[in-house]
């Protein structure tokens, strides 16, 4: 007889793809009224395991056994897993932006009779689930009018409406600010304590794992490494440290989370003066107001601020004026004013931008690593023929293979599609693309978002190497420890303005937050 304290048990799960064992006899047991963290590096098998659980990979496509609520289960599709109470909330939210909150909550399970929707009941029932989550909005409001944090709550409300017994949340806080992240974690606690709903939390934010998890299961290379129960003292501090989790994930201790940089810093290479940008969707409203900043050769300058502070808008307006309206101000490289009026012009001047959204704007996911690597500056490996420009495929291969080795991209071949890579390896290909363009100034916008601690360390090492080569780097990050640990100087942004410039050696998270809120 199954242990009644266990709600979900996955035993000996093995899943193979052509030439790859993605899961090798993986075991996972989730108790009732538990927040169970599932951690591991990108490619460790976390998402594959959850696809097996939810029926995305149906019975017959894997080996092993799933026990849920005391019964053997073999789901053929997502509807079957949701019917028994397993609901997955993906990192990319599955909401219809122009439908209302109420419509989204019951999408596919409409409150209808004889195929006629009862709108009064739809709104009334939606309010029941919204109140459970503290979502105090009009149920008729389109979800595209909500911030990302509240959209996450709509996804959870959808799950509650399906009578979820266990929620699987894949990187739920990756796009949230600190307050929204804390609110979401508190919701998971309340669902556990008040409604007996268990959660499987997949996250690379180890501080959140340590804060909220009751149990932690670590995967590495498709295998279960260990399952660790978490005990807490009277103050709520976890018995397991982030360093202990990291050791299980990567198989070794990472003694210095942010590798030290000792290369010399040169003269000012890049300067932005009196940079003012108006919102293209609201031409009367300033998005950036008189921004001034400098970056020296070999220096890493951090940009700190809350979501909406204008950091990404600053980067994209500088990079070929991709964003913004009525842009005024000056950009100077090595003391000379340069026009950066288009993306090709910016690239030609030596400016590159690693976007925060690698899947949407950083890569062509249906193309190979080889093709993505040279995409930003094809003319480096092209020759003009009589009728058009022809890419020299031999040089293309040499370039892609060189960056694959240099950046340690884990792939069997540069002919692998970019969409098939893990998040960390996709990020390395994005970096390869922009390094191939020979930048003098490199803007990195959330370069470690959604990747594991081992891959982060590799990205940090790459940034240090670039600085050592004399490249001027601007680092945008929502993670305060990352900004402090990787930057030489830190500019703080709030509501489109620079509110402080701090020396990273003495800066603290409290000081940065004080300047963010002081505007």
% helix / strand / coil in the chain, to the nearest 5? 35, 30, 35
Q: Residue 106's CB: how many other CB atoms inside 10 A?
A: 20
In 3D, which of 419, 423, 375 has the Cα closest to residue 400? 375
pLDDT for res 388: 60
Per-residue pLDDT tens digits for 251-289: 766 667 788 888 899 999 999 999 999 988 888 889 999
Angle at 436 between CA 431 and CA 442, to 5 degrees: 55
Q: What is the pTM of this model?
A: 0.70
Sign of the Cα pseudo-torsion (58, 59, 64, 66, in order): positive
pLDDT for res 378: 86
The Cα–Cα gap between 277 and 283 comes to 9
Q: Is 136 exposed, middle or buried (0-12, 13-18, 19+ CB in 10 A)?
A: exposed
pLDDT for res 282: 83
Asked if residue 468 lies in contact with residue 442, where contact means CB atoms within 8 angstroms, the answer is no
Q: Give the CB-side neighbour count of residue 214, counting CA atoms within 13 A.
A: 15
- CATH number for the domain running over 1-85+165-253: 3.40.50.300
The 268-279 sheet, strands edge to edge: 282-296, 268-279, 325-333, 336-337
The Cα–Cα gap between 313 and 319 comes to 10
Asked if residue 88 lies in contact with residue 54, where contact means CB atoms within 8 angstroms, the answer is yes
Tell me the domain boundaries of the chain: 1-85+165-253, 95-163, 256-350+439-519, 357-438
Crossing angle for the helix pair 393-406 and 423-435, nearest 10 degrees? 120
Asked if residue 507 lies in contact with residue 481, where contact means CB atoms within 8 angstroms, the answer is no
* Cα→Cα distances 149→81, 201, 293, Å: 26, 16, 31
- CATH number for the domain running over 256-350+439-519: 3.40.50.300
Per-residue pLDDT tens digits for 423-477: 788 889 999 999 999 999 999 999 988 777 778 888 899 999 999 999 999 999 9
Q: Is 370 exposed, middle or buried (0-12, 13-18, 19+ CB in 10 A)?
A: buried
User: Hunting for tokens 């849920």 — which residue is that?
Assistant: 68
Per-residue pLDDT tens digits for 299-315: 999 999 887 789 999 99
Element (H, E) at 442: strand 441-445
Q: What is the 3-state secondary structure (H, E, C) of 273-294?
A: EEEEEEECCEEEEEEEEEEEEE
Asked if residue 166 lies in contact with residue 8, where contact means CB atoms within 8 angstroms, the answer is yes
Using only C-alpha atoms, the chain has a radius of gyration, in whole angstroms, of 24
The first and second tokens of residue 504, run together, are 């990273």
Domains 1-85+165-253 and 256-350+439-519 fall in the same CATH topology: yes
pLDDT per 10-residue tile (average), the chain, 519 residues? 73 87 93 93 84 91 92 90 90 85 90 88 92 89 87 89 90 77 89 92 87 93 91 84 85 75 92 94 88 96 88 94 93 95 94 89 92 90 69 90 90 90 86 93 90 83 93 92 94 93 91 81
């Amino acid at each position: 007889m199954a242990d009644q304290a266990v709600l979900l048990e996955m035993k000996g799960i093995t899943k193979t793809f052509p030439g790859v064992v993605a899961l090798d006899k993986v075991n996972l047991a989730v108790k009732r009224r538990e927040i169970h963290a599932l951690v591991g590096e990108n490619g460790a098998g976390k998402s594959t395991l959850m696809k097996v659980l939810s029926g995305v990979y149906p019975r017959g496509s894997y080996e092993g056994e799933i026990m849920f609520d005391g019964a053997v289960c073999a789901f053929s599709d997502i509807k079957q897993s949701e019917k028994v109470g397993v609901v997955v909330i993906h990192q990319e939210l599955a909401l219809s932006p122009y439908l209302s909150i109420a419509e989204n909550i019951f999408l596919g399970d409409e409150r209808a009779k004889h195929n006629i929707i009862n709108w009064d009941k739809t709104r009334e029932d939606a309010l029941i689930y919204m109140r459970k989550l503290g979502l105090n909005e009009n149920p008729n409001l389109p979800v595209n009018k909500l911030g990302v944090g509240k959209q996450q709550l709509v996804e959870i409300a959808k799950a509650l409406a399906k009578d979820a017994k266990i929620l699987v949340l894949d990187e739920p806080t990756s796009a949230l600010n600190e307050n929204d992240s804390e609110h979401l974690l508190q919701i998971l606690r309340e669902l556990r304590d008040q409604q007996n709903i268990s959660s499987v939390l997949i996250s690379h934010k180890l501080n959140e794992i340590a804060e909220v998890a009751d149990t932690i299961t670590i995967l590495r290379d498709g295998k279960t490494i260990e399952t660790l129960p978490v005990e807490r003292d009277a103050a709520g501090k976890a018995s397991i440290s982030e360093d202990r989790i990291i050791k299980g994930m990567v198989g070794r201790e990472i003694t210095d989370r942010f590798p030290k940089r000792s290369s010399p810093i040169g003269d000012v290479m890049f300067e932005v003066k009196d940079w003012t940008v108006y919102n293209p969707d609201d031409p009367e409203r300033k998005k950036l107001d008189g921004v001034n900043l400098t970056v020296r050769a070999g220096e890493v300058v951090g940009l700190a601020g809350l979501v909406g502070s204008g950091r990404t808008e600053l980067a994209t307006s500088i990079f070929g004026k991709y964003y913004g309206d009525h842009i005024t101000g000056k950009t100077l490289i090595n003391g000379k004013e340069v026009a950066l009026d288009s993306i090709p012009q910016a690239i030609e001047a030596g400016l590159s931008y690693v976007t925060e959204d690698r899947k949407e704007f950083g890569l062509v996911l249906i193309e190979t690593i080889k093709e993505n690597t040279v995409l930003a500056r094809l003319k480096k490996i092209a020759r003009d023929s009589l009728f058009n420009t022809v890419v020299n495929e031999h040089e293309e291969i040499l370039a892609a293979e060189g960056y694959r080795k240099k950046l340690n991209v884990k792939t069997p071949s540069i002919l692998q599609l970019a969409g098939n890579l893990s998040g960390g390896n996709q990020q390395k290909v994005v970096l390869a693309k922009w390094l191939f363009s020979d930048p003098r100034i490199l803007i990195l916008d959330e370069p470690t978002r959604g990747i594991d601690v081992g891959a982060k360390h590799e990205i940090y090492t790459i940034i240090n190497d670039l600085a050592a080569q004399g490249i001027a780097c601007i680092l945008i990050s929502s993670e305060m420890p990352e900004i402090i640990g990787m930057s030489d100087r830190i500019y703080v942004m709030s509501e489109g303005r620079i509110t402080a410039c701090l020396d990273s050696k003495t800066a603290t998270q409290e000081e940065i937050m004080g300047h963010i809120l002081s505007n």
